[in-house]
Amino acid sequence: MTNNELSYCPGCGHGTAHRLIAETIEEMGIQGDTIGVSPVGCSVLMYNFLDVDMQQAAHGRAPAVATAIKRLMPEKFVFTYQGDGDLAAIGTAETIHACNRGENMTIIFVNNGIYGMTGGQMAPTTLPGMRSSTSPYGRDTILMGNPLKMTELVAQLAGTYFVTRQSVHTPRNVRRAKKAIRIAFENQKLNKGLSFVEIVSNCNSGWKLPPVKANEWMEENMFPFYELGDIKVDGKLVTK
Amino acid sequence: MEKELRLMKGNEAIAEAAIRSGADGYFGYPITPQSEVIEYLMSERPHERTGMVVLQAESEVAAINMVYGAAGAGMMAMTSSSSPGISLKQEGISYIAGAELPCLILNVVRGGPGLGTIQPGQSDYFQAVKGGGHGDYRLIVLAPASVQEMYDFVGTGFELAMKYRNPVMILSDGIIGQMMEKVELGPQKNRRSREEVVKSAPWATTGKTPDRYHNIVTSLDLIAANQEKFNIKLQAKYAVIEENEVRYEEIDTQDADYIFVAYGSSSRICQSAMKIARAKGIKVGLLRPITLFPFPKKCIAEMAETKKGFLSVEMNAGQMVEDVRLAVNGKKPVEHYGRMGGIIPTPEEVVEALERKIIGG
């Protein structure tokens, strides 16, 4: 990590997620061999916080940007870091096709069910009934469509090798998430396909809840819909 | 050494030039009338010839963003498309200009608007020359008029792109892309080694080394004062390009009373029109802008002192004519003649337009 002050709201999960990636890079000793791609969204400025070479991609296009970087420098560790609006709405095509081609890289997908940076609008992952500034009376799935489980979707594609869903709101979950990120980076050495780590996270500002309450709300509402755990390991779907 | 000559389509010449110029990556998506570019590349196995990466993307949008990623890593990257596909690429082109990345974009123009037609057109002049995407930026725009120039401008384009860290567009059209002509091929250039890439692009994301800060490729700066400072720097760069990189060709302009201004395919039609006109005793010459940005405005301004009138011949409703008028600045008559929707004007029509709009007007 650099010495720059994080731009995130107090209690936001982005800072923890950043730190886990930074720790993984440090422990693997790959700082000089890692290229990151930041999205459009709250984490657009990630390149100011992580002390590795980084590119900032147009909204949703990080998997395409990362594809070219990895193809041209296959020995590098390449990752994207994207929110749910970026990855699961505007960047759906880039996400699905990078996963389906089996690009040998890592996608970190932070899902807080809302557009944080633009002020709390409805995201593709906003839960049914969940309030946002563009679903002020709650998401009506008949009018506004259903939330998208992108992680389950990409797990079905032949090009994904490791697909998991984690969170970073308790020490226990942080340890699990870190292990998943480590696997996702280590997998790049195997050249067997794409590793996809979803982190279900909070948005205190967008959800209009204090940090502790936001985490409780996340456990009660997000996790039943976005179930935590591995979905695909070593190229095989996990049977539950 | 014996010349290496080959009969090729314009689109094939572009593809062969990409391999021979030592390009690192090509990212494309099929669209008529330029699909031969990626077809030729795939059939040539560039990965075996030079190690060049060629990838068919899921969309034009993805393709231009792949170019962004490759260029951000300091690589020589290019894409190609035709009008509707180039519209899709505009967001990415704006980001590339904003992040000051070098790359090459080929537009084999077809008639528009919308899905338009698959026949040739020049109706993307404004889009290429005036911006296309959002924000105050410029592309360096090269307009080939032959298959040879399609080949040559790949090397020229990459050189200019890297010299100025600016996207370069080759603005071609369906005629030049599809027609076959003799091409003299240049030697195979080696792709640059990773060390050479790092040396030539010290700003690129090639992996942080202990002797430098981490490199960041971005077009974002949330501080307005910084963003303005960056914009001023961009404009200064464009001013240098306008000063140093203007290219054009003059044919029979010395004794001419009238001037056709035309680029690409239209300039070829004008050459035939000149023969017809001169046989009738009308002294007409041709100014062919080779760079559309920077535009040869000084040359036109000088001609405005001595010539009697200008006819801008374009396969569109009149786009470049606005730049000709700006350069002539009211000193002499400037008119436009063009056909649209994929119709190619005949030399006779062009001569008739000159007589009606300029000489008789």
Binary contact (A72, B217; C-beta < 8 A)? no
Stated length of chain B: 361
Name, in order, each residue with C-beta under 8 angstroms of A95's C-beta and a sequence gap of 6 or more. Answer: A60, A63, A82, A87, A88, A107, A150, A154
Average pLDDT over residues B86-115: 97
What type of residue sits at position B178? Q
The pLDDT assigned to B2 comes to 84
The DSSP line for A168-229 is: -SSHHHHHHHHHHHHHHHHGGGTTS-EEEEEEE---HHHHT--HHHHHHHIIIIIHHHS--E
Count of Cβ atoms closer than 10 Å to residue B272 Cβ: 14
**Do the Cβ atoms of A107 and A92 come closer than 8 Å?**
no
Phi, psi of B216 (to 5 degrees): -125, 130
Complex ipTM tops 0.90: yes
Q: How confident is the model at residue B361 (pLDDT cuts 50, 70, 90)?
A: low
State how far the alpha carbon of B210 is from the alpha carbons of A44, A52, B26, B197, B215, in Å.
Answer: 25, 11, 31, 18, 12
Angle at B96 between CA B91 and CA B99, to 5 degrees: 125
Binary contact (B208, A55; C-beta < 8 A)? no
Query: How does pLDDT run across B197-219, given as a tens digit for each residue?
Result: 999 999 999 999 999 999 999 99
Does A47 reach chain B within 8 Å, measured CB to CB? yes
pLDDT over threshold 70, residue B39 = yes
Q: What is the 3-state secondary structure (H, E, C) of B129-167?
A: HHCCCCCCCCCEEECCCCHHHHHHHHHHHHHHHHHHCCE
Count of Cβ atoms closer than 10 Å to residue B200 Cβ: 13
Q: How confident is the model at residue A239 (pLDDT cuts 50, 70, 90)?
A: confident
The pLDDT assigned to A197 comes to 98
The nearest CA of chain B is from the CA of A137 a distance in Å of 33
The Cα–Cα gap between B143 and B141 comes to 7
Average pLDDT over residues A55-65: 98
**Do the Cβ atoms of B265 and B246 come closer than 8 Å?**
no
Element (H, E) at B324: helix B320-328
The Cα–Cα gap between B58 and A193 comes to 18
Binary contact (A65, B206; C-beta < 8 A)? no
Q: How confident is the model at residue B231 (pLDDT cuts 50, 70, 90)?
A: very high
The pLDDT assigned to B237 comes to 98
Binary contact (B69, A73; C-beta < 8 A)? no
Binary contact (B55, A57; C-beta < 8 A)? no
Residues in B touching A51 (Cβ below 8 Å): 208, 214
Residues in A touching B67 (Cβ below 8 Å): 68
CA B348 to the chain's CA centroid: 28
A45 to chain B: closest CA residue: B220
Binary contact (B69, A67; C-beta < 8 A)? yes
Can you list the positions of beta strands (E) in chain A?
34-38, 53-56, 77-83, 106-111, 114-115, 121-122, 160-167, 194-200, 229-233, 236-237
The pLDDT assigned to A240 comes to 75
Binary contact (B25, A51; C-beta < 8 A)? no
Residues 73-132 of A with CB under 8 A from B: 73, 76, 93-94, 96-97
pLDDT over threshold 70, residue A100 = yes
Average pLDDT over residues B294-302: 98
Q: Residue for token digits 């690409």?
A: B264
B66 → closest Cβ in A45, A50, A67: A67
The pLDDT assigned to B179 comes to 98
The nearest CA of chain B is from the CA of A227 a distance in Å of 30
Does A26 reach chain B within 8 Å, measured CB to CB? no
Please list the helix, strand and coil fractions of chain B in percent, rounded to the nearest 5, in that order. 45, 20, 35
Does A21 reach chain B within 8 Å, measured CB to CB? no
Residues 19-48 of B with CB under 8 A from A: 24-25, 27
Cα dihedral value B184, B187, B188, B189, nearest 10: -120
Average pLDDT over residues A14-23: 98
Strands A236-237 and A229-233: antiparallel
Average pLDDT over residues B1-13: 94
The Cα–Cα gap between B53 and B46 comes to 7
Average pLDDT over residues A82-105: 98
**Do the Cβ atoms of A198 and A226 come closer than 8 Å?**
yes
Binary contact (B216, A34; C-beta < 8 A)? no
B216 → closest Cβ in A54, A64, A76: A54
pLDDT over threshold 90, residue B53 = yes
Size of interface A-B (CB pairs under 8 A): 124
B51 to chain A: closest CA residue: A72
Under DSSP, the state recorded for B343 is P
Q: What is the torsional sign of CA A43, A47, A50, A53?
A: positive
Produce one character per residue of A202-221: b if its CB has 16 or more CB atoms within 10 Å, e if not. Answer: bbbbbbebeeeebbeebeee
Q: Which two tokens stand for residue A1?
A: 């990590």
State how far the alpha carbon of A204 is from the alpha carbons of A11, A117, A212, B35, in Å.
Answer: 7, 12, 9, 49
Name, in order, each residue with C-beta under 8 angstroms of A213's C-beta and a sequence gap of 6 or more. Answer: none
Taking Cα atoms as reference points, which of A148, A152, A125 lies closest to residue A207?
A125
**Do the Cβ atoms of A193 and A106 come closer than 8 Å?**
no
Cα dihedral value A219, A221, A223, A226, nearest 10: -160
Residues 77-106 of B with CB under 8 A from A: 77, 91-92, 95, 99
The DSSP line for B170-223 is: EEEEHHHHH-EEEEEEPPPPPPPPHHHHHHH-TTS-S---TTSPPPEE------
CA A155 to the chain's CA centroid: 14
Residues in B touching A32 (Cβ below 8 Å): 207-210
Q: What is the 3-state secondary structure (H, E, C) of B53-66?
A: EEEECCCHHHHHHH
The Cα–Cα gap between A106 and B351 comes to 61
The pLDDT assigned to B131 comes to 87
The nearest CA of chain A is from the CA of B94 a distance in Å of 10
Please list the helix, strand and coil fractions of chain A in percent, rounded to the nearest 5, in that order. 40, 20, 35
Does A58 reach chain B within 8 Å, measured CB to CB? yes
